[in-house]
Chains A and B, each alone.
Chain A
């Protein structure tokens, strides 16, 4: 079955710097890759996603890149702000498969220092 590895597990940056979180997946059939942000005690919130027909997607300060050949995808946050501090999870699934369940990485705790 699918396995998603995420690193680093913790990341500390200064406000205004960029942050990059990387994930690898094992199942070449996976074609949908969302990223969720989870603040302490709150629900995971979708912040951006990418499907395998594109290599990059941007939304303001957030971007995701996908390399299907290497089976890895990354989250890039530019001009980080203290409110970006949270745990970020990457996930993978197969759009169009009989199941739609997401396989998650173990998360990256991002701390943005003012």
Chain B
């Protein structure tokens, strides 16, 4: 499968615990996005990387959230001291930005449940 992959697919944790998600983009895609999707809503932007540089963070991304993309390949999203309100689907998307155009392809998501 040469698409975007995410791991784990499901995560159940207790409030206050830390969790980390991984995203592997399509090979050679230079942009990587993280979105959050809650039930009945469209995905909401969290942050994105161009190669290894994190270029933008949404106001939704509180100080408890941190993302990295070392070496411009895979990315991790960590949530510290999880809260029940963090329960959601976390989606990763990647794109190859050429000139001014790009098309984003999504991974299957990591569904997080905070008890």
- Report which A residues bind B (CB closer than 8 A): 4, 6, 32, 34, 36, 42-46, 49, 51, 89, 91, 95-96, 98-107
A/B interface sample: 22 pairs, CB < 8 A: A32-B101, A36-B106, A42-B108, A44-B91, A45-B106, A46-B103, A46-B104, A46-B105, A89-B42, A95-B101, A98-B55, A98-B56, A99-B56, A100-B31, A100-B102, A101-B33, A101-B48, A102-B43, A102-B104, A104-B44, A106-B42, A107-B40
Q: Indicate whether B25 reaches chain A with its CB closer than 8 angstroms.
A: no
Given contacts A51-B101, A89-B43, 7 further A-B contacts (CB under 8 A): A43-B91, A91-B42, A99-B48, A100-B33, A100-B48, A102-B104, A106-B41
The one of A42, A44, A46, A98 that contacts B43, using a Cβ cutoff of 8 Å: A44
Contacts of A99 in B (CB 8 A): 48, 55-56
CA distance in complex: A36, B43 (Å): 11
CA distance in complex: A101, B41 (Å): 16
In B67-115, which residues have CB < 8 Å from any A CB?
91, 95, 97, 99-109
10 pairs of A and B residues whose beta carbons are closest in the complex: A104-B42, A96-B100, A101-B45, A43-B106, A43-B108, A44-B106, A89-B42, A95-B100, A99-B56, A104-B43
B97 and A100 within 8 A (CB)? yes
Number of interface residues, chain B, beta carbon within 8 A: 28
CA distance in complex: A4, B44 (Å): 12
CA distance in complex: A43, B45 (Å): 15
B41 and A43 within 8 A (CB)? no
CA distance in complex: A34, B103 (Å): 8
The one of B55, B95, B101, B109 that contacts A43, using a Cβ cutoff of 8 Å: B109
For the complex formed, measure the closest distance between the CB of B8 and the CB atoms of chain A, giving whole angstroms.
14
CA distance in complex: A49, B58 (Å): 24
Contacts of B107 in A (CB 8 A): 43
For the complex formed, measure the closest distance between the CB of B51 and the CB atoms of chain A, giving whole angstroms.
13
CA distance in complex: A6, B45 (Å): 17
Residue of B nearest to A96 (CB): B100
